[in-house]
Chain A
Amino acid sequence: MTTTLEIEGLTVAYGGAPVVDGVSLAVPAGSVVALLGANGAGKSSLMRAVMGLVPSTARRLAVDGRDLAGHPPERRADAGLGYVPEGRRVFAGLTVRENIEVAVDGAAGARAARVAEMLELFPDLAAKAGERAWRLSGGQQQMLAIARALARRPSVLLLDEPSLGLAPLIAAAVFARLRAVAESGVAVLLAEQNAARALAIADTAIVLAHGRVALVRPAAGLSADDEALAALLA
């Protein structure tokens, strides 16, 4: 399996104190890697650092073999990184259609075709295509945030707490969609508090504790009740 996202020795420090400390990981194409950890373990900081939204240092941070360390967020997006942030952060004043189209490059016809593909992939959004994003439910906003990121055809999708604030049924639908996204060949790095839900769709689980990798295990057979895992997530 081709490795799409490679991270070596990633460190993020706020005020001199490291919150992500020398983390190395790889996400192969077509797989889901679940990034687990207690509150404050460094999951969101790691995601933001990979996207270039906070200052960080790394020996290597590559997408499809291209080193992106030191590049600004827009260059990283061009290189194939897609980002679904914690809290969704859809553009509330833009319509659903505009939220997707704004992320797509190219001529008007190509953009419209890509928006149509995304609306077909997310039928819940199709019915709301002309509505401003602030009118959507939490689940619909989450779907929109994912559709917006996928519209750019990323090779890596970073998702930060996609189930946060969603009803269980809605969260299950979002996660089923994420598995399908991975199976289409995208490398998915999923930071999630809800370990059971993340493990259900992940190939590999990586647990962060105090900013460091504390555990790496295949997700198959690993339960959220596993003693070692539960101790790290507590």
Chain B
Amino acid sequence: MPTVQLLVNALALGAAYALVALGFVLVLNAAGAVNFAHGDMVMLGGVAAVAASTLLAAGGLRLPGIVLVPLVVIVSGLVGLVVAAVGFWPLRDRPPAAMFVATIALAAVFEQSATAFFGPEPRAAPAIWDGPPVIIGGIALGRQPLALILVAGLALAGVYALLERTQIGRSFRAVAQDREMARALGLRATRLIVGAFALAGGLAGLAGALLGHQFFVNAGQGPAYMLKAYIATAIGGWGSVPGALVGALLIALFEMLVSAALSAVWAQALLYLSLLAILLLRPQGLFGEAVGRRA
């Protein structure tokens, strides 16, 4: 039954895009500005997964991708801290456009560094769960999409629990809503914002490692992921966390269905056309504020 397989694949892709969009919108809310290097943080996660697997294989150790996931998340979290240290911290009292421009420069640095280190050719990240398809109810489902849904779902649930059930999460949401008032209540807003960058980096890197097996990893793919996060946030409503997650799932479903019906090229072209239509017809998206109130 290809339709079920198609939907499972779309859900897997949507779950990975949701990780990308969640990190994007967390930083957008915390810092009040777009981190333009977010797509390249996804790419660097894929690079970290490929590099780790290659190095270990050279040492005679062939580990499944799932074992590398914690390492990739830690490395990517550190990348998030670098973005915070360079693109946010020195500019925290400047207008949002300053961070936007600084992170454009960082994105270029990441892309060029990855090209120099990694080369321009696409490389495959290790599979999270390798092996023949799993038969469920007579339907053959790929292990990688199932693993992707599971890992991304766990990560999303973990972030949800962090935001909704812990004092750090409450503090983060307070800072995101009114940074000045949060500071007047004694909350350490800058620390929380830097933490949001680290979390966003970890989520982006995880997405890069998960997507890197099926869609490969190459140094130039950051802007495409950045656009996906941007579109998901525009669809869901600028600044809305649930909106971004729904937006990510809708993008994945759209890409899968249009790719199956027409082609992947058409899927991308029509996706960007849809973004233009959303910006024109419903700039506030499904749940949030209009795009453009924050740079």
A residues apposed to B, CB below 8 Å: 51-53, 72-74, 76-78, 83, 85, 89, 91-94, 98, 101-103, 105, 108, 111, 148-149, 152
Interchain residue pairs A-B with the least CB separation, the first 9: A77-B186, A73-B183, A103-B185, A102-B170, A83-B184, A89-B181, A73-B184, A91-B174, A91-B177
Contact of B167 among A83, A108, A149 (CB under 8 A): A108
Residues from chain A with a CB closer than 8 A to the CB of B181 are 85, 89, 91
Partner of A89, one of B170, B178, B186, B189: B178
Query: In the complex, what residue of chain A is closest to B241 when comparing beta carbons?
Result: A93
B187 CB, min distance to chain A CBs, angstroms = 7
With A and B bound together, what is the CA distance between A73 and B181 in angstroms?
9
B173 adjacent to chain A (CB < 8 Å): yes
A103 to B173: give the CA distance in the assembly, Å: 12
Q: Is B180 an interface residue (CB 8 A)?
A: yes
B184 touches A77 (CB 8 A): yes
Residues of B within 8 A of A77 (CB): 183-186
A102 pairs with B184, CB closer than 8 A: no
Question: Which of B171, B173, B184, B187 touches A51 (beta carbons < 8 Å)?
Answer: B184
Quick one: which of B240-278 are within 8 Å of A by CB? Answer: none
Chain A residues lying within 8 Å of B178, measured Cβ to Cβ, are: 89, 91
- Does B62 interact with chain A (Cβ within 8 Å)? no
Asked whether B282 is an interface residue with its Cβ less than 8 Å from the other chain, the reply is no
Residues of A within 8 A of B185 (CB): 77, 83, 102-103, 148-149, 152
Which residues between 155 and 205 of chain B lie within 8 Å of chain A, taking CB atoms? 167, 170-171, 173-174, 177-178, 180-189
| Contact A93–B177 (Cβ < 8 Å) | yes
Q: In the complex, A106→B115 CA distance in Å?
A: 47
Instruction: Report the Cα distance A222→B185, complex, angstroms.
Output: 34
Interface centre among B173, B180, B185, by most chain A C-beta atoms within 10 angstroms, is: B185
Instruction: Give the shortest distance, in Å, between A209 (CB) and chain B (any CB).
Output: 27
Tell me the complex Cα distance, A54–B209, Å. Answer: 44
B residues less than 8 Å from A93 (CB atoms): 173, 177
- Complex Cα–Cα for A226 and B83 (A): 60
A100 to chain B, nearest CB (A): 10
Measured in the bound complex, the distance between the Cα atoms of B182 and A72 in whole Å is 12
Contact A102 B174, beta carbon cutoff 8 Å: yes
B187 touches A102 (CB 8 A): yes
Contact A53:B186 (CB < 8 A) given known A91-B173, A102-B174: no
Q: Which of B204-233 contact A (CB under 8 A)?
A: none
Closest residue of chain A to B181 (Cβ to Cβ) is A89
CA distance in complex: A36, B189 (Å): 32
CA distance A212 to B273 in the complex (A): 58
Nearest chain B CB to A92 CB, angstrom units: 7
In the assembled complex, the CB of B260 is this many whole angstroms from the nearest CB of chain A, namely 38
Query: Complex Cα distance A76/B184, Å?
Result: 8
- Chain B contacts of A91 at CB under 8 A? 173-174, 177-178, 181-182
Q: Closest residue of chain B to A92, judged by CB? A: B177
CA distance A205 to B51 in the complex (A): 70
- What residue in chain A is nearest B189 (Cβ atoms)? A74
The interface residues of chain A lying within 8 Å CB-to-CB of B180 are 53, 73
Further 19 A-B residue pairs, CB within 8 A, beyond A77-B186, A94-B174: A52-B184, A53-B180, A53-B184, A72-B183, A74-B183, A74-B188, A74-B189, A77-B183, A77-B184, A78-B186, A85-B181, A91-B173, A91-B182, A93-B173, A101-B167, A103-B186, A111-B167, A149-B185, A152-B185
Whole-angstrom distance from the CB of B276 to the nearest CB of chain A? 30
Residue of B170, B187, B189 with highest tally of chain A CB at under 10 A: B170
Pairs across A and B, CB under 8 Å, 29 listed:
A51-B184, A52-B184, A53-B184, A73-B180, A73-B183, A73-B184, A74-B186, A74-B188, A74-B189, A77-B184, A77-B185, A77-B186, A78-B186, A83-B185, A91-B173, A91-B174, A91-B177, A93-B177, A94-B177, A101-B167, A101-B170, A102-B171, A102-B185, A102-B187, A105-B186, A108-B167, A148-B185, A152-B185, A152-B186
Of A83, A101, A102, A149, chain B has the most CB atoms within 10 Å of the CB of A102
Measured CB to CB, the closest approach of chain A to B239, in angstroms, equals 10
